[in-house]
Structure 1
Amino acid sequence: MIVNPGFGPITHLAAILWVCDAEFPTSVMTVRSAIVRQSISFSAVAAWAAFIVWSFLPCLPQSAIATERDAPPLYIVLEMDTSASMAVSDPQRLLPKAVELLLKLLPAQSRVQILGFDSHVRDQTELLHLDDEQRRKVANFAKEIVKHTNVGTDFLPPLEAALQTLTPQSGENYRPVVLLFSDGITNVGSNAENQGRQTQVLQQTAAQLQAAGIRVFTIAFSEHVDARFLREIAELTGGLAMIAAQPEQLSDLFTTLFEILEQPDMLPVDRVVHVDEHVSSLSLLLQNKPGTTGNVALVTPQGDLIDAASNQPDVRWTSGQGYQLVDMDHPQHGDWQIQQPAGEHAGKAYIMSDVSLRVEAPTLLDIGASPTPTLRAWLDRGNGEVLKAPALHIQAKISRLNDQRVPDVVIELADKDGDGRFEQTLPRLEPGAYLITVEAEAKNLRRIKKHGLTVAALPKAETPASPPSSGDDDSDAASLIALVWINLALLPIVAAAVYWHVNIRKRL
């Protein structure tokens, strides 16, 4: 907040001089004379009131927190390893199908480029907006490039290409992200040449990506992948390193990537989805296991049965390989029941709502970081207004992404200041990639949001962003208080000037 404590008093003094016939420039006095002939008393009072309002406008508080609702669009370069080993690692070609699902989930303002690489960058699209036509174009391109395989794997060309594509130009505002998918290791020649190329990628290219604000999320696939090298790329750029042990995990992995990158508000799903009155749109992602037979249907809160064959004007039903996506505008409020074949898990529920869960946490921290980082969360009505819901409870589950043997850690957040903002310090975590699932629950209202966190084994250049210092806020508050007192002190003078002009001058 910017406060000019001298602006208000100056305008009040101008009002006094205007009323009392001070020497103003001729053009101003001409206008003043015309107004006086109409109604001097009304003009003086109106001008004084306008000056008061005008002087206080710059002092109105503004939201200082950039939330995901206000976040700029995602620009993504998806880099797919097309070396010959991919035909063995992913024989059913499930990667393009997972990419298609990610494209379905991303909002239209996102832009995506896909490129295939082995020892070189072989094929690539332009950076395309995701309207319906471009989604199909990018999805078809992903299916085609995996058919053309070559020998060798070099991570330098695709990362340099992403650096050229995503480096922000002056005046541009977007979130640049690289999704690097590979099942192999660096293979450009001898062991010495391979080691030299990895050093070049880490010390030069990754450093350039980090300096440009481009985060690299790496997806390692197969037991032969150089997971350590991919993890270091992710850590250096503030991204996240993920592992898909089996091709069947790719759809879930890409769904998690969407939830981390776009951070949509979500509802809990367990055969039933409760849609509260604040929800304006609902997207249900219902995933099917391979070989599953049977139809998926929904039962509305009013008891109507709908499925993909139903003709509902506000319901769009999209079927893909292994999933069904149901988009609804203005869904009925209440409990929606999900009917799926036996053995299927219910899926995910993404919403648009005028009450959103906000999460503030680091994306990258060094092991043993001091001071201990804090996780903050609150319900937001929009424009920074915090919702203080009765009996609100917020907790977070911290899960190790690439090692399910590590037990989850659950922490309770507390509203220590009674302002509706909950917080808790993060526990000490071992190096690795983590998924933080934050859930807020109040009467008839629940929200879920996902957040990705990397704990680096060694100190990195980037440290978690610290919350804004309270010093600036204190200074602004002091300036505002001073401005109020000065304006109040001038109030009797302005009133006396108006009274003199309206009453006494008429007698002279």
Structure 2
Amino acid sequence: MKMRGGWIFPVLILVVLGLGAPPTQAKPATGEKADVRILIDISGSMKKNDPENLRRPALRLLVGLLPTETRAGVWTFGQYVNMQIPLGQVDAAWKRKARNESKKIGSPGQRTNIEMALKRASEDWEGSPTLYRRSLILLTDGMVDVSRNKAKNKASRKQILNKILPRLKKMGVAVNTIALSENADHELMRKLAEATGGWYEQVNDANQLQRVFLRIFEKVGKPDAVPLKDNQFTIDDSITEATVLVFHKPGAKPTQLIPPGGKPIDAESAPDSISWHRDEGYDMLTISDPKSGEWRIRAEVDPDNRVMVVTDLKMNTTDLPSRLIHGQSLPFLTSFTDHGKRIRKKSFLNVVEATAQQRDGNGESEPRPLLDDGKGPDPKAGDGFFSMRFGGESLSSGNGELIISAKGRTFVREKRMSYEVVPPVMLEVKPGEIPNQLLLTLMPAADLVDPASVKSQVWLETAEGEQTPLDLIQDAGGVSQGNLDITTFSGARKIVVSVDAKTVAGESVEYFDAPVEVEGIMPPPAAVEPKPEPVTEPTPTPAAESPAEAVEEKRAEKPEPAVEEEEESLLMTAVWLGGGNLLLLLALGGGFWWMRRRNQQGLVSLLDEELPENLPAAEVKEAA
């Protein structure tokens, strides 16, 4: 056995955030050890949702990960509740028994008596937790089903919510629930988890159970671990045991382990110091007194592969709540202990590099430092607490994982924590009582937000950004309701929610999102038919013709002036005028001639009277 060196310092004062406690306040940990009760549904419906009994290897994975300081027990339930694996201290013998008993898990039950399972598994708990952290893990695929009588089922469900849940909450029990079906009572499962600070997850495929059990174990067991990158990990002198979890796909080559400076080892050639358990979908290797140095794994790289260790040199972190409010920012602290005492020595702290990284639906963030410099979120420089603030707008809604890594001169450590980011309010949209109207309900997360502090604005918004306010009436409990008439608009619209609120701890939270899209059905305005335009017949194109024909045609085509009648009228007038004038001239001429003639006759008479009687005849003629 290697001798383990260590630091000797004053007693550790570990600061953590309790579930449901104000994030700005710290409280001592209630226990460094875990008390875990596992409840597994064996009702007949599991034949459909878990036909290959993958609950068995998933349970064996969880059993194998439990550290020796843990108390644990397994109950199965259908119509009745059975203690499948007795409650006891986890050790090698308990693990062997648990693995053997897991083979008996099937689906023979006729009912789903969740109420009785919760009662039986927690009946020995009393008062607040002291040495052990209390956790329940509930796996089911159905609804509360204790009888053919629906009233009895309803009464049993009510008993869980009104009697059992308040008791579990009062005793500090974190209830972690897994719904292995879309038909499970998700509302009940979520309420059990949210009210107690536990973890809720829906699984539609039993093949995911092993990884879900891993995430829940990391929450309830809070194991120490070392980073695993590209299937390589480093063991230091302070580590007395290492558990290596390697996932593999069907048909994959056997996993191999290569110790520092050694040859590859597999399940068949493993020495006595390595306990090698190969199961459906994974290998689990427990290495006693591992050699210091770099180890390698020959297997497919998987993000859920882990190396968990037993060590006296521990990294302690803030207890991150399972649920965070979107926009909320929490102080997060990390410290180190050796044999239970917080390390304060400058020569150790000055070479430690601590970083935080988050993984969620947006991918993997860049590592950010945790500092012990007395600035920003760090309360005091050089006190051994490395600090940062976690959350805010950088977190996206949904599930995520926070990874804390630390590297010193002689060691590396890692811790992983799963979390869910939820909005401070939930918008529910469903058909209203009046046709073509939707009922909008905005409900605050009462366990996270002070309902009286909620101030909300809701509006419709087009893709172009045009906004139409919606009138929702808020009651004393912070719940707002209103109707939306979908015949008043057409096309797609987003319902946008803007909220200012305070958490139950008094922190301000701002939230802005467009969680729902609705479709309007306003009919388009009636189309006005345009008046038909007069049809103009096209002028035919004339055929080619000779110049003479063209000239003749032009003459022929010369339009008869519309003044022909006018000219004819003028001609007739001219004729009449000319005729009149002619007659007048003739009359005047005739008159003149008659007058002259008469004058001449008068003259002749006078001459006749005056001429002498002896004038010769010739002279008389000449005078006439």
TM > 0.5: yes
Cross-structure match for 2:174: 215
For residues 406 and 119 of structure 1, the distance between their equivalents in structure 2, rounded to whole angstroms, comes to 43
Given the superposition, is the C-alpha separation of residues 343 and 304 from structure 1 closer, same or farther in structure 2, using an over 3 Å criterion? Answer: closer
Alignment: residue pair count: 398
1:347 Cα deviation after fit: 2.3
Cross-structure match for 1:422: 386
Q: Tell whether 2:254 aligns with 1:295.
A: yes
Instruction: Select 1:181's aligned residue among 139, 147, 153.
Output: 139
1:359 Cα deviation after fit: 0.5
1:105-184 to 2 correspondence within 5 Å? 105-122=65-82, 124-150=84-110, 152-167=111-126, 173-184=131-142
Q: Tell whether 2:352 aligns with 1:352.
A: no
Given the superposition, is the C-alpha separation of residues 116 and 227 from structure 1 closer, same or farther in structure 2, using an over 3 Å criterion? Answer: same
Q: Tell whether 2:92 aligns with 1:92.
A: no
Deviation string, structure 1 residues 170-202 (Cα, Å, up to 9, x no partner): x97322211100111223456665555433322
1:166 Cα deviation after fit: 3.2
Given the superposition, is the C-alpha separation of residues 366 and 144 from structure 1 closer, same or farther in structure 2, using an over 3 Å criterion? Answer: same
1:212 Cα deviation after fit: 1.2
Given the superposition, is the C-alpha separation of residues 465 and 255 from structure 1 closer, same or farther in structure 2, using an over 3 Å criterion? Answer: farther
Cross-structure match for 1:396: 356
Cross-structure match for 1:256: 215
Q: Secondary structure at the match of 2:103?
A: helix
Larger radius of gyration: 2
For residues 66 and 329 of structure 1, the distance between their equivalents in structure 2, rounded to whole angstroms, comes to 31
State the Cα RMSD in Å.
Answer: 3.5
Cross-structure match for 2:498: none
Q: Point out the structure with the larger helix share.
A: 1
For residues 397 and 163 of structure 2, the distance between their equivalents in structure 1, rounded to whole angstroms, comes to 23
- Higher RCO structure, 1 or 2 (CA under 8 Å, sep 6+): 1
For residues 314 and 126 of structure 1, the distance between their equivalents in structure 2, rounded to whole angstroms, comes to 28
Given the superposition, is the C-alpha separation of residues 106 and 313 from structure 1 closer, same or farther in structure 2, using an over 3 Å criterion? Answer: same
Unpaired stretches in structure 2, ≥5 consecutive residues: 1-8, 17-27, 375-380, 425-444, 450-502, 507-624
Instruction: Select 2:335's aligned residue among 378, 382, 385.
Output: 378
Unpaired stretches in structure 1, ≥5 consecutive residues: 1-59, 467-508
Deviation string, structure 1 residues 293-352 (Cα, Å, up to 9, x no partner): x22222222143322233635333233333222222332222212112x57678211123
Deviation string, structure 1 residues 458-482 (Cα, Å, up to 9, x no partner): 233999999xxxxxxxxxxxxxxxx
Q: Which amino acid aligns with 2:331?
A: T
Q: Secondary structure at the match of 1:63?
A: coil
For residues 303 and 194 of structure 2, the distance between their equivalents in structure 1, rounded to whole angstroms, comes to 33
Q: Tell whether 2:402 aligns with 1:436.
A: yes
Cross-structure match for 2:284: 325
Q: Secondary structure at the match of 2:261?
A: coil
Task: Single out whichever of 316-325 and 81-90 deviates more from structure 2.
Answer: 316-325
For residues 95 and 332 of structure 1, the distance between their equivalents in structure 2, rounded to whole angstroms, comes to 34
Given the superposition, is the C-alpha separation of residues 87 and 304 from structure 1 closer, same or farther in structure 2, using an over 3 Å criterion? Answer: same
For residues 161 and 357 of structure 2, the distance between their equivalents in structure 1, rounded to whole angstroms, comes to 32
Contact 2:257 2:295 in 1 (8 A): yes
Contact 1:123 1:145 in 2 (8 A): no
Q: Secondary structure at the match of 2:166?
A: helix
Contact 2:39 2:76 in 1 (8 A): yes
Cross-structure match for 2:232: 272
Q: Tell whether 2:325 aligns with 1:367.
A: yes
Q: Which amino acid aligns with 2:215?
A: T
Q: Secondary structure at the match of 2:68?
A: coil
1:148 Cα deviation after fit: 1.8
1:66 Cα deviation after fit: 7.1
Instruction: Select 1:244's aligned residue among 200, 203, 214.
Output: 203
Task: Single out whichever of 61-70 and 106-115 deviates more from structure 2.
Answer: 61-70
Deviation string, structure 1 residues 214-245 (Cα, Å, up to 9, x no partner): 21111111222222321110111121112333
1:90 Cα deviation after fit: 0.7
Contact 1:235 1:454 in 2 (8 A): no
1:206 Cα deviation after fit: 0.7
Contact 2:37 2:73 in 1 (8 A): yes
Given the superposition, is the C-alpha separation of residues 399 and 207 from structure 1 closer, same or farther in structure 2, using an over 3 Å criterion? Answer: farther
Given the superposition, is the C-alpha separation of residues 76 and 241 from structure 1 closer, same or farther in structure 2, using an over 3 Å criterion? Answer: same
1:39-58 to 2 correspondence within 5 Å? none
1:139 Cα deviation after fit: 3.0
1:449 Cα deviation after fit: 0.7
Given the superposition, is the C-alpha separation of residues 465 and 274 from structure 1 closer, same or farther in structure 2, using an over 3 Å criterion? Answer: farther
Q: Secondary structure at the match of 2:343?
A: coil
1:93 Cα deviation after fit: 0.6
1:79 Cα deviation after fit: 0.8
1:103 Cα deviation after fit: 1.0
Given the superposition, is the C-alpha separation of residues 199 and 236 from structure 1 closer, same or farther in structure 2, using an over 3 Å criterion? Answer: same
Q: Tell whether 2:12 aligns with 1:63.
A: yes
Q: Secondary structure at the match of 2:93?
A: helix
1:276 Cα deviation after fit: 3.1
Instruction: Select 2:296's aligned residue among 337, 346, 353.
Output: 337
Deviation string, structure 1 residues 53-95 (Cα, Å, up to 9, x no partner): xxxxxxx964322799994432222111111111111111111
